[in-house]
């Protein structure tokens, strides 16, 4: 679920799926990594951050507003210097690009931790400030408090949510566009082909394709943490229904995104100047594209089919209208290649497009081993503990209102100021 951001600057790291929950979790994990790594070093004395013993002019201009609370440039500068300590200019700029969200994270931890019964005493705070050689100022109290609370939560709360042993399966999986292709893969497996090589060849999902389909040992109930973007897919359940050596039937999953789709287009009009006027349908598989083409040729309403089936969100709102092929018109190369030779009223054959993303396909899953009560190793337990913390704090932050008030020039000035202070 997306946060409500009021943006006054262009963020340097946007993606097409910036507002999705998964991308948000990745960003929070990155923030937690930065905060944890820096403060671990601080609190054990590796970063010698001394008190600013020279007079610093007040930086009163607002830098950010989080849930109605304004943080000024002075706060921002000190946070940036603290969290980028010992890093070069490029790394400092990276921290600066995430700094408003780091401040938000720090605020969220301090607010939410007491709900689970965790607080930091004045003695604990003062001791940590002294250990890190930090002055007793608001910005440092905030940063250290959130770090101490995060440590307590991880060790004394979320660690206890992870069992020492649990049902686990060792599994392999690959993801294809249709049952027809899934059956081809099943036939090759039956003939003795290697699952790993087939996953590399056929899987349209990036994790299973790059890993040769090997998922490793999966603890039941925690796949969402270990498998990242595919953790809440059908892989959450299917592997645990199988016995060792068993291969699943093709299992549809509409949640998985792949870099493949199929266009079926029709030219509705031709003009000497503007070229061809085109409408189209984007589907997730060749099988679906063939079926939709047959329906169009048979006379079914194009706009209705687009509304019901097309995965191109923009043209789906326009009855499939993709515009004209002339100058400054359609830029998709696959669509152009399909449309240019067509006469008015003609429907194209389906064509694959690997430059776009569509959702949906079929999993094939095979279980190699199964253990009803397998021990979790220390690394996996730590990963699961941290993942539970990430999910918890992400949920707490999902409705935050965050406004960045710095211009790009102000942010650049802040970065240069911090770098120059290091000498």
Residues 117 and 9 in one domain: yes
Q: Say yes or no to pLDDT of 383 above 60.
A: yes
Q: Please give the average per-residue pLDDT across 380-390, as a whole number.
A: 97
- Tokens 């994270």, residue? 105
Domains identified in the chain, total number: 3
177, 242: one domain: yes
Same domain, 112 and 213: no
Residues 70 and 149 in one domain: yes
Instruction: Answer yes or no: do 311 and 337 share one domain.
Output: yes
Which pLDDT band, with edges at 50, 70 and 90, does 220 fall under? very high
CATH number at residue 340: 3.10.50.40
B/e letters for 247-259, b = 16+ CB within 10 Å, e = fewer, are: ebebbebeebbbe
DSSP codes, 250-318: PEEEEEEEES-EEEEEEEEEEETTTEEEEEEEEESSHHHHHHHHHHHHTT--HHHHHHHH---HHHHTT
DSSP tag of 109: H
Residue carrying structure tokens 């930086």: 59
DSSP 247: B
Residue 362 covered by a domain: no
Region 344-370: mean pLDDT is 97
The verdict on 34 and 181 lying in the same domain is no
The confidence score (pLDDT) of residue 108 equals 98
Convert the pLDDT of each residue in 306-341 to its tens digit.
Answer: 999 999 999 999 999 999 998 778 889 999 999 999
pLDDT bucket at 3, cuts 50 / 70 / 90: very low
């Amino acid at each position: 679920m997306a946060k409500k951001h009021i943006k006054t600057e262009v963020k340097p790291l946007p993606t097409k799926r910036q507002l999705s929950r998964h991308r948000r979790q990745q960003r929070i994990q990155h923030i937690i990594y930065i905060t944890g790594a820096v403060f671990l070093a601080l609190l054990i004395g590796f970063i010698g951050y001394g008190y600013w013993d020279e007079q610093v002019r007040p930086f009163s201009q607002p830098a950010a507003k989080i849930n109605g609370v304004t943080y000024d440039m002075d706060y921002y500068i000190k946070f940036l210097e603290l969290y980028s300590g010992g890093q070069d200019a490029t790394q400092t700029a990276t921290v600066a690009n995430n700094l408003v969200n780091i401040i938000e994270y720090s605020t969220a931890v301090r607010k939410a931790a007491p709900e689970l019964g965790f607080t930091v005493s004045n003695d604990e705070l003062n001791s940590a400030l002294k250990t890190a050689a930090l002055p007793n100022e608001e910005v440092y109290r905030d940063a250290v408090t959130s770090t101490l609370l995060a440590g307590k939560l991880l060790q004394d709360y979320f660690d206890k949510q992870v069992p020492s042993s649990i049902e686990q399966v060792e599994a392999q999986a690959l993801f294809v566009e249709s049952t027809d292709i899934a059956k081809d893969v099943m036939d090759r497996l039956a003939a003795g082909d290697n699952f790993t090589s087939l996953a590399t060849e056929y899987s349209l999902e990036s994790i299973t394709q790059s890993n040769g389909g090997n998922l490793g040992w999966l603890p039941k109930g925690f796949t969402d943490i270990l498998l990242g973007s595919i953790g809440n897919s059908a892989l959450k359940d299917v592997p645990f229904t199988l016995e060792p050596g068993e291969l699943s039937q093709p299992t549809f999953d509409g949640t998985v995104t792949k870099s493949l789709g199929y266009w079926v287009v029709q030219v509705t009009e031709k003009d000497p100047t503007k070229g061809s006027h085109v409408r189209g349908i984007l589907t997730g598989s060749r099988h679906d594209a063939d079926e939709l083409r047959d329906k169009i040729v048979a006379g079914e309403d194009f706009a209705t089919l687009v509304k019901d089936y097309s995965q191109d969100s923009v043209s789906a709102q326009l009855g499939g209208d993709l515009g004209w092929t002339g100058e400054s018109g359609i830029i998709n190369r696959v669509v152009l290649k399909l449309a240019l030779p067509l006469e008015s009223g003609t429907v194209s054959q389906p064509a694959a497009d690997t430059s776009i993303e569509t959702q949906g396909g079929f999993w094939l899953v095979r279980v190699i081993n199964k253990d009803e009560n397998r021990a979790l190793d220390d690394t996996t337990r730590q990963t699961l503990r941290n993942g539970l913390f990430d999910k918890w704090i992400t949920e707490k932050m999902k409705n935050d209102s965050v406004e960045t008030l710095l211009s790009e020039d102000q942010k650049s000035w802040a970065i240069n100021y911090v770098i120059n202070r290091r000498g």
